[in-house]
């Protein structure tokens, strides 16, 4: 196993959101979704080189980066796009919000799965849209959208579905059949879809692969805003470089219109890091995936041995969605923080029966977190 991911990088004093939350308290931060790994050497070198140039004026989208994205979509997904289809963004959350504003009108309904990454539920409201949530259901230890519930929830004001693939939280990777069934509902009901695929390079389960929903056919492609980024994969979220792929000219123009004068361009260091990541980061990511897979397997085994906790197989992402309902805790986030582990409360994602744990960290940190969680739960058990 690759030792570089075992390295404990001290992030305290670096204005890290993750590590500043708990100040000097002895709480392991396992919440916000960045990893504690250093980015690939190729990314760090490219940034050094750009910094050494010493001039940091306004920048254009580098042609090379568009070309890398086009080649990537072709080689990974056999999806043919052109550089006109790509809209660069400083973040994916801003892409979700723009999608809500670009489709339909004030008062229309945006559908979101639940549980889900919180901005899926806030973006519609911030965009003067109603939000309607549709539950995920468990099918053979795999989370999936309840398509019957989705169809039943539709009204004549429904315009847009926010979709997350791989899904956060839970890490579900949607299968081809699921994507086809969802696409046919979207087409049949004249809806649009914004597909957040930020975790697409983090597939852990052997035999599974990512499929962008827009890549499965022309008709669904015309109705899709796909959002992707190198940020999660290469741990460069702080550099703010993401993109939307919108193949339909009119939809793309609507999206571009609502960003005008409000959303800034991506900064040049973000572009620099993205080029290096996509050009030379694949081997590094394969090593990272091997490491994360071992973390996942360890976590899966250990969590399921703790009374009252349950963890279904995680197909993708470094985010574990732990069912804590059996532990009967009144304030789970506080309980685990008292135990020295800072996780994201499931309540924020729409289900208080869960906690989300970020396992994108050195194994030794994960082992310590498990030791603390186990001790706290065992302590709580009736004598
Ligand atoms: C599904 C999903 N979308 C978007 C984001 C955040 O994207 P950004 O930081 O680029 O706004 C996250 C981060 O956790 C995420 O999990």
Q: Give the position, in ligand 1's atom list, of the atom nearest the Cα of 89.
A: 10
Q: Give the pLDDT of residue 1.
A: 63
The pLDDT of residue 314 is above 70? yes
Closest by alpha carbon to 196, among 270, 84, 339, 100? Answer: 100
Contacts (Cβ under 8 Å, ≥6 apart) of 33: 168, 232, 237, 317, 318, 319, 358, 360
Last residue of a domain, one of 215, 247, 280: 280
Strands (E), 292-383: 310-311, 319-323, 341-342, 344-345, 354-358
Question: Is residue 381 very low, low, confident or very high in pLDDT (cuts 50, 70, 90)?
Answer: confident
Q: Give the pLDDT of residue 169.
A: 97
Q: Is residue 103 part of a domain?
A: yes
Q: Is residue 268 part of a domain?
A: yes
DSSP codes, 66-92:
HHHHHHHHHHHH-----GGGEEEES-H
CA of 93 to the centre of ligand 1 (A): 6
What is the per-residue pLDDT across 57-85, written as a single tens digit (0 to 9) for each? 999 999 999 999 999 999 999 999 999 99
Question: Is residue 372 very low, low, confident or very high in pLDDT (cuts 50, 70, 90)?
Answer: very high
Cα–Cα distance for residue pair 321/314, rounded to 1 Å = 8
Tokens of 101: 């504003």
Domain shared by 112 and 33, yes or no: no
CA of 191 to the centre of ligand 1 (A): 23
Domain shared by 31 and 126, yes or no: no
Average pLDDT over residues 328-332: 94
Q: Is residue 261 part of a domain?
A: yes
Q: Give the pLDDT of residue 382.
A: 74
Q: Give the position, in ligand 1's atom list, of the atom nearest the Cα of 34.
A: 14
Range of the domain at 353: 3-41+282-377
CA of 297 to the centre of ligand 1 (A): 24
Domain shared by 226 and 335, yes or no: no
Q: Is residue 113 part of a domain?
A: yes
CA of 198 to the centre of ligand 1 (A): 7
What is the per-residue pLDDT across 26-50, written as a single tens digit (0 to 9) for each? 999 999 999 999 999 999 999 999 9
- For a pLDDT cut of 90, what percent of the chain falls above it? 97
Q: Is residue 48 part of a domain?
A: no
Query: Domain count of the chain?
Result: 2
Q: To test ligand 1's pocket by mutation, which of 16, 87, 168 has the most ligand atoms within 8 angstroms of CB?
A: 168
Domain shared by 36 and 82, yes or no: no
Task: CATH number of the domain at 373, please.
Answer: 3.90.1150.10
Domain shared by 120 and 245, yes or no: yes
Domain shared by 144 and 244, yes or no: yes
Strands (E), the chain: 28-29, 86-89, 109-114, 130-139, 142-145, 158-164, 192-196, 224-228, 242-245, 310-311, 319-323, 341-342, 344-345, 354-358
Q: Within 13 Å, how many C-alpha atoms sit on residue 321's CB side?
A: 29
Q: Is residue 210 part of a domain?
A: yes
Q: Is residue 66 part of a domain?
A: yes
Cα–Cα separations (whole angstroms), residue 316 to 292, 295, 300, 363, 381? 10, 12, 13, 18, 32
Q: Give the position, in ligand 1's atom list, of the atom nearest the Cα of 94.
A: 11
Domain shared by 13 and 77, yes or no: no
Cα–Cα distance for residue pair 161/240, rounded to 1 Å = 24
**Mean pLDDT taken over the chain:** 97
The pLDDT of residue 272 is above 90? yes
Contacts (Cβ under 8 Å, ≥6 apart) of 313: 141, 142, 205, 300
Cα–Cα distance for residue pair 373/173, rounded to 1 Å = 28
The pLDDT of residue 383 is above 80? no
Q: Give the position, in ligand 1's atom list, of the atom nearest the Cα of 319.
A: 16
Q: What is the torsional sign of CA 357, 358, 359, 363?
A: negative
Last residue of a domain, one of 231, 263, 280: 280
Domain shared by 104 and 209, yes or no: yes
Domain shared by 18 and 101, yes or no: no
Q: Give the position, in ligand 1's atom list, of the atom nearest the Cα of 91.
A: 10
Give the residue whose CA is nearest to atom 7 of ligand 1: 92
Q: To test ligand 1's pocket by mutation, which of 198, 201, 240, 264 has the most ligand atoms within 8 angstroms of CB?
A: 198
Average pLDDT over residues 172-182: 97
Give the residue whose CA is nearest to atom 16 of ligand 1: 168
CA of 95 to the centre of ligand 1 (A): 10
Q: Give the position, in ligand 1's atom list, of the atom nearest the Cα of 93.
A: 11
Last residue of a domain, one of 245, 280, 315: 280
**Dihedral class, residue 190 (left if φ above 0, else alpha if ψ from -120 to 50, else beta):** left
Give the residue whose CA is nearest to atom 14 of ligand 1: 33
Domain shared by 123 and 169, yes or no: yes
Q: Please list the residues that pair with 145 across neighbouring strands.
A: 136
3-state DSSP assignment of residue 136? strand
Q: Is residue 382 part of a domain?
A: no
Average pLDDT over residues 3-18: 95
Judge contact between 187 and 223, C-beta under 8 A.
yes
Average pLDDT over residues 191-207: 98
Cα–Cα distance for residue pair 78/211, rounded to 1 Å = 10
- For a pLDDT cut of 70, what percent of the chain falls above it? 99
Report the range of poorest mean pLDDT among 135-144, 187-196, 251-260.
Answer: 135-144
Domain shared by 276 and 288, yes or no: no
Domain shared by 33 and 61, yes or no: no
Tokens of 379: 């302590």
CA of 217 to the centre of ligand 1 (A): 26
Cα–Cα distance for residue pair 120/132, rounded to 1 Å = 11
**pTM metric for this prediction:** 0.97
Q: How many helices (H) and strands (E) does the chain have?
A: 13, 14
| Tokens 């989300």 -> residue | 356
What is the per-residue pLDDT across 224-261, written as a single tens digit (0 to 9) for each? 999 999 999 999 999 999 999 999 999 999 999 999 99
Residues with CB under 6 A from ligand 1: 33, 91-93, 117, 164, 168, 196, 198, 229, 231, 237, 242
Task: CATH number of the domain at 233, please.
Answer: 3.40.640.10
Question: Is residue 213 very low, low, confident or very high in pLDDT (cuts 50, 70, 90)?
Answer: very high
Give the residue whose CA is nearest to atom 1 of ligand 1: 168
């Amino acid at each position: 196993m690759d030792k570089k991911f075992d390295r404990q990088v001290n992030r305290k004093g670096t204005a890290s959101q993750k590590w500043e939350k708990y100040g000097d308290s002895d709480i392991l931060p396992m919440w916000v979704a960045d990893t504690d790994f250093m980015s690939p050497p190729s990314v760090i070198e490219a940034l050094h080189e750009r910094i050494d140039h010493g001039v940091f004026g306004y920048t254009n989208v580098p042609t090379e980066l568009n070309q890398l994205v086009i080649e990537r979509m072709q080689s990974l997904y056999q999806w043919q796009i052109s550089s006109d289809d790509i809209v660069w963004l400083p973040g994916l959350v801003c892409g979700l919000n723009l999608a809500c504003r670009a489709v339909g009108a004030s008062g229309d309904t945006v559908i979101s799965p639940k549980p889900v990454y919180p901005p899926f539920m806030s973006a519609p409201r911030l965009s003067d849209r109603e939000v309607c949530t549709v539950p995920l259901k468990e099918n053979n230890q795999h989370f999936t959208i309840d398509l019957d519930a989705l169809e039943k929830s539709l009204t004549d004001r429904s315009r847009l579905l926010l979709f997350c693939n791989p899904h956060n939280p839970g890490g579900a990777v949607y299968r081809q059949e699921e994507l086809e069934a969802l696409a046919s509902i979207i087409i049949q009901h004249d809806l649009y879809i914004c597909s957040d695929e930020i975790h697409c390079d983090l597939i852990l389960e052997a035999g599974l692969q990512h499929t962008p929903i827009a890549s499965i056919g022309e008709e669904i492609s015309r109705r899709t805003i796909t959002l992707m980024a190198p940020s999660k994969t290469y741990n460069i979220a702080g550099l703010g470089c993401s993109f939307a792929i919108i193949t339909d000219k009119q939809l793309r123009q609507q999206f571009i219109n609502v960003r005008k004068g409000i959303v800034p361009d991506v900064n040049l260091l973000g572009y620099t890091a993205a080029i290096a990541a996509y050009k030379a980061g694949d081997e590094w990511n394969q090593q990272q995936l091997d490491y994360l897979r071992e973390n996942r397997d360890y976590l899966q085994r250990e969590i399921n041995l703790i009374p009252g906790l349950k963890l279904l197989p995680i197909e993708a992402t470094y985010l574990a969605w732990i069912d804590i309902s059996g532990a009967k805790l009144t304030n789970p986030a506080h309980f685990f923080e008292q135990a020295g582990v800072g996780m994201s409360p499931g309540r924020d994602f729409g289900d208080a029966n869960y906690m989300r744990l970020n396992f994108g960290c050195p194994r030794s940190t994960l082992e310590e977190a498990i030791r603390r969680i186990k001790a706290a739960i065992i302590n709580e058990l009736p004598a």
